[in-house]
Amino acid sequence: MTNNVTNKEIKRIFDRFSRMNIMIIGDVMIDSYMWGKVDRISPEAPIPVVSVINRENRLGGAANVALNIQSLGGVPLLCSITGNDAKKDVFMELLREKGMSGDGILIRDDRRTTLKTRIIGSNQHLLRVDEESNEIIGKDAENQFIDKIRSLISQGKPDAIIFEDYDKGVLTPGVIREIISTAGKMDIPVTADPKKRNFNRYRNVDLFKPNLKELAEGMKTELSKNNVEGITIAARKIQESLNIRYLLVTLSEMGIFLRHAGMSKLFPTEVLDVADVSGAGDTVISVATACLAAGADPETMAIISNLAGGLVCGKVGVVPVHRGQLHEETVKLFRRNPKQLSAKQ
């Protein structure tokens, strides 16, 4: 049980991260940043003028989940579909720079590679510009994608599979159904970070991680962060209807909600110095999946994932969690509160 977690057990969990091969399936994108300073307002409109100092491209979406797995010490295998365009070349170069395989990337002439540009002036996120399409992939692309994923699974059984859904059309009901079925036959744990369109498609996954907005939209109800009873009712319904083993609901500054084995707990946020919430959900699903594959009990999984999400919120931009820092902060957390009774029943 979590109440008896020791430094030795924490070390065992983190040590296992480095021996993991984890497949990530979902929508990928380029997160582009324009960094600058603001020292005047435009005479053309009441908007700040950003004098650009630096530009940077980063891996985003499901690729950021892969970065988090890599940062934890694991080996990610990213599976997605990009367009056959100039932005695809940028994306593939970013993969190579990070030492990640592009074997799972299907390139299609009928797709568009997603680019999200964030404009940050004087450390404030001022604007985001999205270049994308979110049409559902056609049957031919779906079959190609399923075949590619199955082939990669057969070449080397992963320790876990993550569905990272950004609702851009790569994850179809067919892709989700067929890969969950394949994983089930091979006893591979499956986790999912859902969006509205496919919310009810992730039947029989081991771990389901919506945020509060996604849970409310998926259940067609209204929920607030302070309504723990309402969250509990919605969580129980979706868990039972989809036959989900563990349900995690991220609640931003309120923390993380866990439901398993008929029990529900709310773990308050441990890190409150919030600079940017971008990518926090990617970090939570990555760490939760790694903990699940490492054999951590569900409460320890929730606590470490919650801590990881808080840590990346303290940094500007979409960045992965750092394994060393997470290990250190986890040890400190359990030392401060060894019984972890801050969880609300």
pLDDT 10s digit of each residue in the chain, 345 long? 454 678 899 999 999 998 899 999 999 999 999 999 999 999 999 999 999 999 999 999 999 999 999 999 999 999 999 999 999 999 999 999 999 999 999 999 999 999 999 999 988 889 999 999 899 999 999 999 999 999 999 999 999 999 999 999 999 999 999 999 999 999 999 999 999 999 999 999 999 999 999 999 999 889 988 889 999 999 999 999 999 999 999 998 888 999 998 899 999 887 655 544 455 889 999 999 999 999 999 999 999 999 998 887 655 555 677 888 999 888 988 887 755 433 443
In the three-class reduction of DSSP (H, G, I as helix; E, B as strand; rest coil), residue 40 is classed as strand
Q: Cβ of 45: how many Cβ atoms within 10 Å?
A: 6
Q: What angle do CA 223, 320, 14 make, to 5 degrees?
A: 95
Query: What span, in angstroms and rounded, lies between the C-alpha atoms of 185 and 344?
Result: 36
- CA 287/CA 306 separation, integer angstroms: 9
In a domain, 14, yes or no: yes
The whole-number pLDDT of residue 338 equals: 58
Determine the pLDDT at residue 314.
54
pLDDT at 276: 45
343 part of a folded domain: no
Give the pLDDT score at 104: 98
Domain membership of residue 77 (yes or no) is yes
Nearest-10 crossing angle of helices 298-313, 323-336: 120
Q: What pLDDT, on a 0 to 100 scale, did the predictor assign at position 120?
A: 93
Predicted local distance difference test score (pLDDT) of residue 35: 94
128 neighbors 33 (Cβ within 8 angstroms): no
Edge-to-edge strand list for the sheet holding 256-260 = 105-108, 75-83, 21-26, 160-164, 190-193, 207-208, 246-250, 256-260, 263-267
Q: Of 27, 31, 206, 282, which is the active-site residue?
A: 282
Q: How many domains are there within the chain?
A: 1
Contacts of 166 (CB under 8 A, 6+ apart): 26, 27, 29, 61, 62, 195
Q: Which of 295, 275, 292, 291 is nearest to 330 (CA)?
A: 291
Residue that the structure tokens 């600058």 belong to: 36
pLDDT at 81: 98
**Domain, as residue range, for 139:** 2-37+50-336
Position 342 in a domain: no
Quick check: is 44 in a domain?
no
Does any domain span residue 284?
yes
CATH number at residue 255: 3.40.1190.20
Q: Would residue 42 count as lying in a domain?
A: no
Residue 43 lies in a domain: no
pLDDT score, position 342: 38
The question of whether 167 is a catalytic residue gets the answer: no
Question: ∠ CA 101-167-25 to the nearest 5 degrees?
Answer: 25
**Amino acid symbol at 88:** K
Give the SS3 label for residue 188.
Answer: coil
